[in-house]
Amino acid sequence: MVTDQTDQSAAGHPSAPETPEPEPREECGVFGVWAPGEEVAKLTYYGLYALQHRGQEAAGISVADGSQVVVFKDLGLVSQVFDEQVLSSLHGHVAVGHCRYSTTGSPTWENAQPTFRTTAAGSGLALGHNGNLVNTAELLERATAAGAVDTRGGATTDSDLICGLLAAAAADTGIEQAALELLPTVRGAFCLVFSDESTLYAARDPHGVRPLVLGRLERGWVVASETAALDIVGASFVREVEPGELIAIDEEGLRSSRFANPEPKGCVFEYVYLARPDTTIAGRSVHATRVDIGRRLAAEHPAEADLVIPVPESGTPAAIGYAQASGIPYGSGLVKNAYVGRTFIQPSQTIRQLGIRLKLNPLREVIRGKRLVVVDDSIVRGNTQRALVRMLREAGAVEVHVRIASPPVRWPCFYGIDFASRAELIANGLDLDGVRRSIGADSLGYVSLEALVAASEQPRTRLCSACFDGKYPIALPDEARIGKHLLEGIEKGVAGSAAPVHANGYGAADALSRP
């Protein structure tokens, strides 16, 4: 046991409270449906319900009936924003849905999506976006010159900027042509689903960083962030929306256009943590990938132990794989409260001091007297694992060997995931033994990037792994880097903007109050 060696103040990582840190969070889920004769608002509701894990801050649905576009959106979970009465009032044959991720900052109604504009030609445009742009300042400059910044609406997202630019350009050429001209100039990660009165559109950035899939209903089409959302609404999977592709669906059928050459760089972290286990990405089951990662983890970092337990839920498949490959029995040693992080009620100080127990509680009769292998999906700041190891020891574990189903996270993500700033990442400042000592584990092992890539069954060249190796596949202008490291810098960088648009889609005030 090495509890005495726990060093919480090593190398720039001062002692942290035993509160569970926020998990890495997606920046959104998107869903769209074109289906005359179907209840498109309800289909979208269930699609968003399936994608709730990708965004829990706000939800919205737009419907179009051929003559108008109506948007209903609010802060909260999908089930909190919509009820039977609201859904029954949303009529049409085209719908766009969006769920937005939750921050501890000040989420605003204005930033909820779909975001809406009226084109100069008088048609409505509703848009939902999953991703993160990296040339926001440049787009803002263009939007300002074109009078496309909505100064009254109050939205401060990069998504609203795309919507404004699209609406401005559509006045001359129509939305489809405007999108084909605008999208090649937009840099970063984006999956867009948008509609006017009669047509559903979907577009994916040339790198295909975030997933976006196309499905078929008996009487229509569906697009969604993940295949699990297709399953839930009874749609059959057709194919992925290709990187660099724009799809338009109306009564004439489905049209596919290319706005850029594809250079696939899918996010490898989707396999580790972000996507649902019942989703398939690039033909590979996320659950099967996670089990395989666990097997490889066991081969790379064996342990002498009595029991393998997961940190539920995202650590579970990898723990199963670890147990299979190592021959060490698998067991449930931690019970997770599935509703933690899904409330807007802030806990009082007394409750907050319960820390990680709000989220995870040990099964003492399972743990007592055992040498444990604990499998988790990733370590970001290390606070959660430190609290977890201590909790397991207090519950009677005699050894705690931590195994992580991803390589050390050393770099921030600029393409749609909120980890932390680089300075906050524990593996950025500490070597392996430093992290082990900081979290108080008897041993620590991360799966290698090579093993992770092999488990995904994707060619290494088609994946983004920048948060592990710092090799960013989409060039980052200075303001994007500044946005993650020096938030006040972005305000100076966006000259003349009263409501600066942060590179990750949040106003600076929101970003500053992030964990």
Give the nearer residue to ligand SF4 in terms of CB position, either 17 or 470: 470
Answer whether 471's CB lies under 8 Å from 461's CB: no
Answer whether 404's CB lies under 8 Å from 444's CB: yes
Residue 191 labelled as part of a binding site: no
Residue 196 labelled as part of a binding site: no
Query: What is the three-class DSSP state of 108?
Result: coil
Which stretch, 99-107, 263-271, 300-308, 370-378, contacts ligand SF4 (CB under 6 A)? 263-271
* 480 makes contact with ligand SF4 (CB under 6 A): no
Cis peptide before 138 (omega within 30 of 0): no
* 233 makes contact with ligand SF4 (CB under 6 A): no
Which stretch, 279-287, 304-312, 461-469, 507-515, contacts ligand SF4 (CB under 6 A)? 461-469
Q: How far is CA 454 from the centre of its chain?
A: 22
Among 112, 202, 235, 417, binds ligand SF4 (CB under 6 A): 417
Q: Can you tell me the distance from the alpha carbon of 262 to that of 252, in angstroms, rounded to the nearest whole number? A: 26
Among 269, 322, 446, 506, binds ligand SF4 (CB under 6 A): 269
For the sheet containing 399-404, what is the strand order? Answer: 307-310, 371-376, 399-404, 443-446
Backbone conformation region of residue 92, classed left if phi is above 0, alpha if psi is from -120 to 50, else beta = left
Biggest CA–CA distance in the chain, Å, is 73
Q: Can you tell me the distance from the alpha carbon of 459 to that of 347, in angstroms, rounded to the nearest whole number? A: 45
Question: Min. distance of Cβ 273 from ligand SF4 in angstroms?
Answer: 9
* 476 makes contact with ligand SF4 (CB under 6 A): no
Among 201, 330, 415, 446, binds ligand SF4 (CB under 6 A): 415
DSSP 217-281: ETTEEEEESSHHHHHHTTPEEEEEPPTTEEEEEETTEEEEEESS-----EETHIIIIIS-TT-EE
Give the nearer residue to ligand SF4 in terms of CB position, either 282 or 398: 282
Which stretch, 32-40, 93-101, 174-182, 464-472, contacts ligand SF4 (CB under 6 A)? 464-472
* 452 makes contact with ligand SF4 (CB under 6 A): no
Radius of gyration of the chain (CA): 23
Among 99, 133, 413, 511, binds ligand SF4 (CB under 6 A): 413
Q: Can you tell me the distance from the alpha carbon of 312 to that of 338, in angstroms, rounded to the nearest whole number? A: 9
Residue 431 labelled as part of a binding site: no
Residue 163 labelled as part of a binding site: no
Which positions from 321 through 350 interact with ligand SF4, judged by CB under 6 A?
none
Quick one: CA dihedral 131, 135, 137, 142, positive or negative? Answer: negative
Query: Can you name the residues that pair with 254 across neighbouring β-strands?
Result: 249
Among 311, 319, 464, 490, binds ligand SF4 (CB under 6 A): 464
Question: Min. distance of Cβ 158 from ligand SF4 in angstroms?
Answer: 16
- Active-site entry in 28, 99, 163, 191: 28
* 467 makes contact with ligand SF4 (CB under 6 A): yes
* 268 makes contact with ligand SF4 (CB under 6 A): yes
Closest CA to 376 of 462, 312, 307: 312
Question: Min. distance of Cβ 377 from ligand SF4 in angstroms?
Answer: 12
Annotated catalytic, 191? Answer: no
- Cβ count near 122 (within 10 Å): 7
Residue 74 labelled as part of a binding site: no
DSSP 326-385: H-PPB---EEE-TTTT---SPPPHHHHTTGGGGTEEE-HHHHTT-EEEEEES--SSSHHH
* 466 makes contact with ligand SF4 (CB under 6 A): yes
* 281 makes contact with ligand SF4 (CB under 6 A): no
Question: Min. distance of Cβ 487 from ligand SF4 in angstroms?
Answer: 19
Binding residues for [4Fe-4S] cluster: 267, 413, 464, 467
Binding site for ligand SF4 (CB under 6 A): 209, 267-269, 413, 415, 417, 464-467
Catalytic residues: 28
Binding residues for Mg(2+): 314, 376-377
